[in-house]
Chains A and B, each alone.
Chain A
Amino acid sequence: MYVYDDFDAAFLAERNRQFREQVARRIDGSLTEDEFKPLRLMNGLYLQLHAYMLRVAIPYGTLNPDQMRKLAEIADRWDEGYGHFTTRQNIQYNWPKLPDVPDMLDALAEVGLHAIQTSGNTIRNVTSDHFAGAAADELTDPRPYAELIRQWSTDHPEFQFLPRKFKVAVTGSEIDRAVTRAHDIGLRTVSRDGETGFEVIVGGGLGRTPMIGKVLRDFLPVTDLLPYLEAVVGTYNLLGRRDNKYKARIKITVHENGIDTFRDLTEARFAEIAPQFDAAATEAQLARIKAMFAAPAFREASDLSYQAAHSADPVFRAWADTNLHAHKADGHAIVTISLKKHGETPGDATSEQMRVIADLAETYGYGEIRISHEQNVILPHVHRADLPALHKALKAVGLATANVGLVSDIIACPGMDYCALATARSIPVAQEIATRFDALKLEHDIGPLKIKISGCINACGHHHVGHIGILGLDRAGVENYQITLGGDGTEDASLGERTGPGFAYDQIVPAIERILRAYLEIRESREETFLDAYRRVGLAPFKDALYEAERDAA
């Protein structure tokens, strides 16, 4: 992974020194909150419902064991002994005290982590495929490009005051695990005549006006990446609306002006600025970065121990069948560690769990860790021979739940339990759905399913692209949950369709159960997933099942 050079380290130290003084000036009263707020947001510090919240970037979801241990140490020293992994490959601390934050940032800097541009109207943490560098289906590792974009966008003087926040996602696989079509810019690596380039997608996003991104350029040579991104963001910076916060994202800019106009303006700006970029220097920097992302020397070993455990131990078999993904190297697997144990808070890990993950990554995983936007932890490279021992160690700390990609692998925003913007709770809904389907012993029967829950219209829980999306709202002072069906965040991205009136807090879990029981009736075979069945039969039968009880009562 990328290792900070002297420039990076000095930049971070200086930035942290500045923020320490800003915090001191706020505390001694020489800065008002109005003056301080933009400064703290630039450094990832929010004020939430019950406390401050520090959002730390995990660039493109990649961590090493020392960084993970540092995250655990911070949780113990300055927080409540846990951290919350988010839907944007960040980690959030929910209980920091303002005077402690400068020390937390210095501790992060010791391992090359920071909270810069995790908030505010800037280019945010660049996200990527959490199986990057490991997946058998991958064309090219997207992380060197994501790192290049991180370096270009960090403290970029032109883009510190954009009309609104700006999110970039990069994937190197045909199978889109990075939700590139729901980002301000999505980049998909493609190959043309043997040359690697990008398909550039622009104007996707969720929130109050969900939109699937449109293709701006079908092939962008790698050497043009930075000037082209600069042209896109520069065009948006000038054209984007600043009169209305809700119409300020690039998706609205593209929608209101049309993709063709936006493209023409971008291409004109690109032609203007491209000569100012030193393509050779970018290539040299990219080569330097790529070398740091070189795959480890994968070992060769017999996987007899794996075969034996798989046939002898049903618990191991259930976990292996659910939580593993095909690896590019012989004998290896990608392991997803579920942070969705039934009844627990999606995405939370205790400091003890973080330390165990760090140790296991060192023992069995070539020292590599990834965080997914689906709020799980990934050990991208594990030899199959090590899987039984790994599983045993995970089980000891409550991390061996066999539910990846199933009903209880729910992504959920913090919701009203933490977030100042939320209109309803998300976490307890996720907890209760997971507990309910675990009790019913139905989730392996139901098979692949993505439930995504947001506690307000801003859609941090990606509900629009959930196979089942749940949106919590405040209806006349009472929590109310709307359901959407058929959303999809992959390469076939689509937005879910609303079923109808929402459900009260105590009715949402039974409502989800009715939908899934209807699916079990409707499906043609076990192989037909919920999403496939929905695409075949449409909304009507699910709507019938969902509102049946109410109709009978009427």
Chain B
Amino acid sequence: MPADTKADNKAAAKPAPKARAPKPQVVTANALLEGDVVYLAGDRSWTRHLSDAQIFDEPLAAEAALAEAAKRHAEVVGCYLAEVKHGPRGAEPTHFREDFRRRGPSNYAHGKQAAASNAA
């Protein structure tokens, strides 16, 4: 049996992968000048607060927003889509990395935590 046919048979024998429900996402990046974490808001501005980010429930809409945002290279660096969940006050992180990006380091109240306490 030729190798490629064998591979095809093997693939066919596998159960079809379960369709995963699309996860809500936000567009995030770091600001060019300050370097801090920003999120794309509904009005196309960049916000420092995850809770103010626009949530994309549809993957295609998220990809389109990412492609558009990535062109704004004079404002931000390293755009990507981060998975979130809907919370009572907007987007909330689902992974601890995004939780740190949202908050700042855990050893000092620097970064976003300092900004939050100054504003309060």
Query: A: which residues have CB within 8 A of B?
Result: 26-29, 32-33, 47-52, 80, 94-99, 345, 416-418, 425, 427-428, 431, 474, 477-479
CA distance A312 to B32 in the complex (A): 57
B107, A29: Cβ atoms closer than 8 Å: no
Interface positions, chain B 22-39, Cβ under 8 Å from A, are 30, 32-37
Known: A47-B30, A416-B96. A95 touches B110 (CB 8 A): yes
A477, B95: Cβ atoms closer than 8 Å: yes
Interface of B is mostly: loop
Contacts of A96 in B (CB 8 A): 35
Contacts of A99 in B (CB 8 A): 33
Q: How large is the interface on B (under 10, 10 to 19, 20 to 34, 35 or more residues)?
A: 20 to 34
CA distance A50 to B30 in the complex (A): 8
Known: A51-B36, A427-B106. A417 touches B100 (CB 8 A): yes
Q: Which of B77, B94, B105 has the most CB of A within 10 A?
A: B105
A-B complex: 4 closest residue pairs judged by Cβ atoms: A417-B105, A29-B74, A52-B35, A51-B35
CA distance A49 to B37 in the complex (A): 8
Question: How many cross-chain pairs have Cβ atoms below 8 Å apart between A and B?
Answer: 73
CA distance A241 to B14 in the complex (A): 36
B73 contacts the other chain (CB 8 A): yes
Contacts of A98 in B (CB 8 A): 32-35
Closest beta carbon of chain A to B59's beta carbon, Å: 19
Closest beta carbon of chain A to B63's beta carbon, Å: 20
Known: A33-B77, A416-B97, A416-B100. 12 other contacts (CB 8 A): A28-B74, A47-B35, A49-B37, A49-B100, A49-B101, A97-B35, A98-B33, A345-B108, A416-B96, A427-B105, A428-B107, A477-B94
B111, A51: Cβ atoms closer than 8 Å: yes
CA distance A97 to B32 in the complex (A): 9
Contacts of B111 in A (CB 8 A): 50-51, 95
Q: Which of A27, A28, A52 has the most CB of B within 10 A?
A: A52
A417, B107: Cβ atoms closer than 8 Å: yes
A431, B107: Cβ atoms closer than 8 Å: yes
Could you show 28 A-B contacts with beta carbons less than 8 Å apart? A26-B32, A27-B33, A47-B77, A49-B101, A50-B35, A50-B37, A50-B100, A50-B101, A50-B104, A50-B111, A50-B112, A51-B30, A51-B34, A51-B36, A80-B108, A94-B110, A95-B110, A95-B111, A97-B34, A97-B35, A98-B32, A99-B33, A416-B96, A416-B100, A417-B106, A428-B106, A474-B97, A477-B96
Interface positions, chain B 91-120, Cβ under 8 Å from A, are 94-97, 100-101, 104-108, 110-112
CA distance A28 to B74 in the complex (A): 7
